[in-house]
């Protein structure tokens, strides 16, 4: 008898040891109910996943559903179209009061009054007045003429509540700021140092020769005046500055000469001089003006135009190098010294 009870006890213990791991590995049943298709669609609409919501609505409409379920899905589709299948608009402050009925009466409204109030509630939901829409739709659910209208108003009221919950959760969530990682970008290379080289002394030499030979050979002096400066610029590889030099050397004397001649003629006529005297006066002032213009052109060419930008020369400190030197002698010993450049 004792042996039989011992065998039973051992069998029970072995069975328990075998079943306990399997029981522990079995997952506990989920207590959270699964979301219905319309709840999933409302969630997609609130989160702004328009494409997924549109596909889910199309799948549900293609299945065999009741008339009131189809009406509710069509309302969700219409609201998604109003929101352009994006996130709902930002919530608006609730400025409406609470009414006992959509028409302000104690009795049940007629179908026309109910539809009018339903359009008002739908517009509130479309523009973001979620609280006002939920309150209006709650009244409309209780006073719906039939089951289809009750399903339509119930679905939109649930959508308004979902939008309110989503917006409140978004406002309570602390803003996340993303700081971009610092990029190991080397600083931009500084432009190479430059210096200005002035070679205006070369144009001054050419102009000095032109001034000297002009009294003896006016044509040669004028030609040297016009071409001397531009030739210096060309020899310094400044073709554009050569054109500028030629322009001011021709333009300044011409303009100043015309201005001087006009001034001389006006002054002679004002003094009542003879016609020949007026002509001589005009010619004298014209020559003086042309000479002054030529001198100004020489100065501008030498001081302003005869310059060029060149890379800066290395400093003398950078060129100075000093290094010790040591060499063995054939007869023995070492020669020690200092070598360098400076």
pLDDT by 10s per residue, the chain, length 342: 555 555 555 555 555 544 444 444 444 444 345 778 888 888 888 888 888 888 888 888 888 888 888 888 898 888 888 887 777 777 766 665 544 444 444 467 888 888 998 999 888 888 888 888 888 888 888 888 888 888 898 988 998 888 888 877 766 555 544 444 444 445 566 666 678 889 989 999 999 999 999 999 989 989 999 999 899 999 988 888 889 999 999 999 999 989 988 887 888 777 766 677 778 878 888 889 888 989 999 999 989 998 887 776 655 554 556 666 666 666 666 566 666 665
Beta pairing class for 307-311 and 321-328: unpaired
- Between CA 134 and CA 124 the distance in angstroms is 9
* DSSP 3-state of 92: coil
Contact 283, 181 (CB under 8 A): no
CA torsion through residues 80, 120, 160, 168, sign: positive
pTM value? Answer: 0.41
End-to-end CA distance of the chain: 119
Residues 6 or more apart whose Cβ sits within 8 Å of residue 80: 45, 50, 53, 54, 57
CA torsion through residues 240, 202, 300, 211, sign: negative
Q: What's the token pair of residue 318?
A: 């950078």
pLDDT confidence of residue 178: 43
pLDDT confidence of residue 103: 44
pLDDT confidence of residue 191: 63
pLDDT confidence of residue 299: 94
| Residue 147: how many other CB atoms lie within 10 Å | 12
Contact 164, 131 (CB under 8 A): yes
User: In which element (H, E) is residue 123 found?
Assistant: helix 111-127
| Residue 310: how many other CB atoms lie within 10 Å | 10
Q: How many residues does the chain have?
A: 342
């Amino acid at each position: 008898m004792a042996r039989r009870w011992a065998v039973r006890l051992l069998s029970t213990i072995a069975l328990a040891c075998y079943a306990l791991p399997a029981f522990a590995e079995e997952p506990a049943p989920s207590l959270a109910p699964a979301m219905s298709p319309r709840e999933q669609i409302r969630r997609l609409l609130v989160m702004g996943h328009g494409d997924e919501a549109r596909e889910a609505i199309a799948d549900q409409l293609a299945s065999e559903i009741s008339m009131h379920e189809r009406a509710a899905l069509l309302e969700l589709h219409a609201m998604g179209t109003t929101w352009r299948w994006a996130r709902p608009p930002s919530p608006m402050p609730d400025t409406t009061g609470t009414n006992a009925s959509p028409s302000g009466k104690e009795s049940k409204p007629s179908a026309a009054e109910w539809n009018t109030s339903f359009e008002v509630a739908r517009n509130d939901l479309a523009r973001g007045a979620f609280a006002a829409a939920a309150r209006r739709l709650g009244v409309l659910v209780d006073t719906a003429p039939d089951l289809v209208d009750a399903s339509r108003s119930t679905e939109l009221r649930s959508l308004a509540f979902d939008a309110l919950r989503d917006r409140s959760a978004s406002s309570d969530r602390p803003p996340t700021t993303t700081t971009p990682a610092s990029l190991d970008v080397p600083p931009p290379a500084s432009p190479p140092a430059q210096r200005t080289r002035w070679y205006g002394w070369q144009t001054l030499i050419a102009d000095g020769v032109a001034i000297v030979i002009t009294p003896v050979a006016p044509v040669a002096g004028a030609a040297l005046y016009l071409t001397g400066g531009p030739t210096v610029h060309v020899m310094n590889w400044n073709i554009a500055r050569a054109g500028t030099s030629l322009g001011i050397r021709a333009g300044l004397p011409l303009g100043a000469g015309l201005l001087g001649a006009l001034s001389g003629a006006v002054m002679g006529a004002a003094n009542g001089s003879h016609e020949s005297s007026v002509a001589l006066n005009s010619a004298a002032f014209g020559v003086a003006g042309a000479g002054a213009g030529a001198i100004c052109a020489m100065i501008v060419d030498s001081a302003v135009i005869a310059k060029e930008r060149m890379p800066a020369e290395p400093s003398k400190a950078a060129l100075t190098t000093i290094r010790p030197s040591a060499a063995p002698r054939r007869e023995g010993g070492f020669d020690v010294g200092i070598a360098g450049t400076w």
